[in-house]
Each structure stands twice: as structure tokens, then as C-alpha cells.
Chain A
């Protein structure tokens, strides 16, 4: 599987009333094949914009994305995406949702069935194959979304707060599942999250982004994801380094948020 290169990306949006937003400025990152990167940052720092560029939904105003030896110019099955919620097709059963990618690619029904059955086993939804997706709970729906993404066997998996809408307990379980799937499939994963804990638990590398202009503020190399594979994640959280890093990142984001609020108040005054 190929490496992913984010090569000096900038993204500017023109505002309707004149003026521009620098959603991203000179962002450069090199992800090795099979790496799991988590992305943190206050809202508005360009996380979603970055992911949309990676998925190919947006073309950056400057810079380029390389996946292996070719340039990313649009959406493609090689880069799968898991959304926060509401991206499942409610007119299809669980099985049809998961089999969507292969079906679009023209995979034969019998073969497709095998892939889908296997993936639904892996995410623990074997009994729910024929259900309508709106009959499932939020956590189950996100498992369907994960399975649907993996059914295409993408090189890169992009996740924009995939667990953001789940309750705390379900979320913990899903974190374990994400970690397990990442290790088993060896895919390159980029995970945007609002939870510092989640970013620490799942990311081999973690970037903290800062807003205006959106940029990479700080990078961490983390041991916790490796520790956590096949482990009780709560044990990992007890590690002294875990708490220390968490506090450090939290106060960093706090400071940024304060600064944003201060700036907004200044602008209003």
C-alpha cells in the first residue's frame, strides 16, 4: 500500500461579503503506509477542510496530495470515508449498504455477499444483515459505516469525528473496534476527533492544528495505540505519560480557544 503525501497545501475561501478565510496554510505531512494519524484542534481550524481535500471533494488552492505515485484529483474508492452520522443510505438494508462499493465496481453478487458477510461478522452485526439501517442504534450505524468503508478495501480511511455522536460507553467500545480493524487491515487512517483521549488512544501520531490560518501547531509521536491493541483501553489510560500528554494538549487547545474568543470579543468591541 502506498504512502500519502500532503504537500504544502493551502486552502482559501472567498467570503460572500468580500474578504477571505485561510482555512489551511502551508500544511505538509507525510503518512507512511499503515500509519494512524489523529487530528485535534479547536473548531474552525480546518480539520474538515483538510479531510475533504484528502477525499478529493475539494481542490486545494495551492499544493497537492500524492497517494503513492499518483496525484489526488477527485474522490475515488482508494480513499474511503467514514462520516459522523447520516451518511448511510436509509433506503438500503444493512447488507446493501455494506455491499454498495463492490456493487458499484461491478463485483458479482455471490462474491459481494461473501465480503459483506465477513465484514458484518467482524463488526459484530451478523444478526442485523437484513435490517433497515434506521432500525439500528447510533453505535450500530457507525459500525455499518465502518464496514461499508472497508468493503471497498481502500488504501486510506478518512474519518471525520466518526464517534462524535455516540454516548461515552458505546464510544469506548467503538474505539477498541477501530484500533482492532486498523491493526488487522493495516490501512492508513486519518482520524479527526474532538476528544483528546480518543486522539491519544488511537493515534500513532497526533497533530494539533491551530486556526487563522489553519495550520499544524504541534506534532506528537505516541506509543499508546501500539499498547492498546488487543488490550483494555482503560488500562492504557492509566499510564502516567497518557495523563501528562493529555493535560498538555488540553491546555494548548484551551489557550487557542481563549485566544479565539478574545479576538472575537475584540472584534465586537
Chain B
């Protein structure tokens, strides 16, 4: 550990803090929105429906966990607000323009600069700036040179861009003659400083060249964050025509297929392994070091090794997911077996059950709730792992789709992919929960 490392880390930490500080006003604004919505909701409720249900008659609600239930209205507003904010900050056509966040400046603007020579003479000239939308192209407007040794200039800049302009390139006396820009729009300025102008900002570089920076507003460029409708369009487009030689359903289907096969294999090996560990001290001793070591190794850390051993095809992916599920399922089965109340086992023996009957009728059913919990965790981990593995290397799959899209800066596809991955992960968890309620209704009721 060198002191340099500590210094580097401190600098990193400071820059993280600075980022958080930049974000603070937005976070604060969001919290205020939440509170404002709450105030509105409370007001509306008080007017529409006077308090009389059981919960509203409670005098102690703060700290009473049972009084806190997820408020459906809040959930709906929250989700709608996400889309509204998304639309507002991307200038989406889904919102009326008065709801948009201030956009980037487009159109024409101008500023004057004042040049001073070493002998004290000075002159003004005007720069016409045309800011054009990114999709179109434009020429710098024609301007008359004007009076004096400093001549007028013009420039065309694409939205969201800034440009350095050598304003002295057409002046009679320029930088080579010792001319320096000393003021912009009448405001004194020195190299390294900047000045607000009508359309944005003009900064002087270290050498004294004006850097023209039109205001970018508060909206996101599509390359950072496309509008919701763009993402939706991309979704319908890819759903019908596919992406990278595969349809959307093939990409998602491949990812799901890998997860299901990997998980199924992991469970098929892991559950018997867990039972063996729960029932025999020899097996427990044998596998404990292996399982306890492999458990904390994140499956993602195995990706490089799996690629070296098995390549980037299906076999490698399935081995990886098999390993991801294996330890989780083994541990779940083991603790399911160890968790059986000894009185239940004793009762079964006293009722005349044989060892096999105890296993079949007591130990296995008793372990099912734990196994289901493990299966839910394992499916979640597998889904995350498959996406990560496809990010690294794959020919098909949800992860591969967004990775390739990011290389081409197709942010819309990336966001669409993330949303789909989230929805599928959520769907898997819902299905597992449904299955759990149906198959092990006694869970937690022992």
C-alpha cells in the first residue's frame, strides 16, 4: 500500500462526492415532487372520503408496521411520473411542449467581440452564430465584413456542440500582430474566462480563441437517452424485423432457454447433493469445503474461465448457469434437511416408518419450502448471470443485443433491452412465487 494509492482513492472519492453534489438539486426536486403529490392526494382524500375505516381510526400509525401497506395510488403516480420525466427531459412528442424541460438552443444569435492592440487601439466586430438541429446541415451565414481592422464573422454549429472560432483569421490585425480579445458583448474577458451571451456562452481558450458554446438546455441528447416513443418504435421494429440476424423473440428465447436448462441441471445435481450433505456427515464433510468456497465466488467471475474451457457457445453458457444454480440449490436443500424438527422425524419413526419412508414422507416435503426459496434466488441469479455472460460473448441473446447496440451507440435498443430484461426477470420471480404458493402452501406455517 503506497501513499499514492491512498491519495488516488481520496481524489476518486472527492469526485464521487462532487457528482453527488451535482445531482443533489435533482434529487431534492424529486423528493419535493413526491411530497407535493402526497399533499395533493391527502387533500383529495379528505375531501372525497372522510376518514372512517379501521386504519384511519388508529391513533398510532407511525411505527405500526401493520398500518403501512403499499399505497396503490402512489405506485401508479410513481410509475407515470417516471414516464413523464423521461418524456419531459427527452422532448418527447408524447407530451405537450410546455411540459418539456428547456431544450437546446437552435436558431441564430450573435455576439460582439472587442480586440485591443498592444498600442491601445481597439475595434469591435460581430459574430453571427447559426445553431442548427443535428439531423440537418447548414452553412455559415453570409455577413458583411464591416468597418475597422476587426472584421465580422459567422459560424454554423450543430445543436449540443460547441466550436472554437479563429475570429482573427479575417481581421486586418490579428493575433500575430499582438491583437487580443479583451471584451465580449462589452463585458471584459481574459483567456480562460467565459461570458454569458444571448444564445449561451462564449469562453476564451488559453490562447485567446473564442469557444462558442450554445446553451444545451436541460434535455438529454438522444444518444444519452432517447424519447420513450423512439424506444417503442425500435421495439416494434426489432420485434418484426429482428436484430443481428435474429428476431427479438429468438434473442430472448435463447437467454431463457439457457437459464432454464442451466437451472434445471443445477437443481438436478444440487438438490441430491444437498440432501446427501444434510443426511450424512461423510458427505457433509466432503462437500462442505467445496460448497463453502464456491458459494461466495460470484458466477460472473467464472465467465472468463468458462470461455477458455468451453468457448462462447451454448455449452459454456449452460455450464456457467449450472454452476450458478448448483451451489444455491445444494445449500437450500441442505438447510431444508437440517431444518426438519427432530420431533417430526421421531414421530414418523414411532409411527412405524422406515428410513426410506421418513426420507420420502417427512424430510423431502419438509425441505420443499427451503428448496423453493433457493430456486427463486437461483433463477434470479441465473437470469442476471446469463445476461452478463451474453454481454461478454454470445451470438444471440438479450445481453448480446444490448452490448452490440451500445457499440453502435443505439441507446434506444440498449434501453429497450434493459426494460425487457427487467420485465422477464420480474415475470420469472412472479411465476416462481405463484408456483410456491400452489405447491408448498404450508410454507412458514409449521
A residues near B (Cβ < 8 Å) are 55-57, 74-77, 79-81, 83, 86-91, 100-101, 104-105, 132, 134, 148-149, 152, 158
Contact = CB atoms under 8 A, between A and B. Distances in A.
Contacts of B348: 89, 100, 104
A148 B440 CA distance: 22
15 contacts: A77-B351, A77-B352, A80-B350, A81-B347, A86-B343, A87-B341, A89-B361, A89-B362, A89-B365, A91-B365, A104-B348, A104-B354, A104-B357, A104-B361, A152-B352
Interface string B331-367: 0000000000101101111111110010001100110
B337 to A, nearest CB: 15
Contacts of A132: 441-442, 445
Contact of B343 (A83, A90, A105): A83
Interface of B: 341, 343-344, 346-354, 357, 361-362, 365-366, 368, 440-442, 445-446
Contact of A76 (B346, B352, B440, B441): B352
Contacts of B351: 77, 80, 100-101, 104, 148-149, 152
A132 B442 CA distance: 8
B446 A86 contact: yes
B427 to A, nearest CB: 28
A75 B346 contact: yes
Contacts of A56: 349-350
A132 to B, nearest CB: 7
A75 B357 contact: no
A83 B346 contact: yes
A101 B348 CA distance: 8
A86 to B, nearest CB: 6
Contacts of B349: 56-57, 74-75
A134 B444 CA distance: 10
Contacts, number: 75
A74 B354 CA distance: 12
A interface: dominant SS? loop
Contacts of B441: 132
Given A81-B346, A83-B343, A86-B341, A100 B445 contact: no
B350 A134 contact: no
Which of B344, B347, B354 has the most chain A CB within a 10 Å cutoff?
B347
A134 B446 contact: yes
Nearest to A145: B347
Contacts of B350: 55-56, 75-77, 79-81, 149, 158
Contacts of B365: 89, 91
A83 B347 contact: yes
A158 B353 CA distance: 17
A104 B442 contact: no
A261 to B, nearest CB: 29
Contacts of B343: 83, 86-87
A123 B353 CA distance: 24
Pairs A-B, 8 closest by C-beta atoms: A77-B352, A75-B349, A134-B445, A101-B351, A87-B343, A91-B365, A90-B442, A87-B347
B142 to A, nearest CB: 87
A259 to B, nearest CB: 31
B346 A87 contact: yes
A149 B368 CA distance: 25
A55 B346 contact: yes
A148 B346 CA distance: 13
A247 B445 CA distance: 40
B352 A86 contact: no
Given A86-B344, A100-B348, A104-B348, 5 more contacts: A55-B346, A57-B346, A81-B347, A89-B362, A149-B351
A55 B348 CA distance: 12
Which of A81, A148, A158 has the most chain B CB within a 10 Å cutoff?
A81
Nearest to A90: B442
Which of B349, B351, B365 has the most chain A CB within a 10 Å cutoff?
B351
Which of A87, A149, A158 has the most chain B CB within a 10 Å cutoff?
A87
Nearest to B342: A57
B442 A91 contact: yes
Contacts of A149: 350-351
Which of A56, A57, A75, A81 has the most chain B CB within a 10 Å cutoff?
A75
Contact of B368 (A55, A81, A91, A152): A91
A34 to B, nearest CB: 20
Contacts of A152: 351-352
A79 to B, nearest CB: 6
A152 B348 CA distance: 11
B366 to A, nearest CB: 7
Nearest to B445: A134
B269 to A, nearest CB: 24
Contacts of A88: 344, 347
B368 A101 contact: no
A239 B43 CA distance: 69
A231 to B, nearest CB: 31
Nearest to A91: B365
A75 B343 CA distance: 13
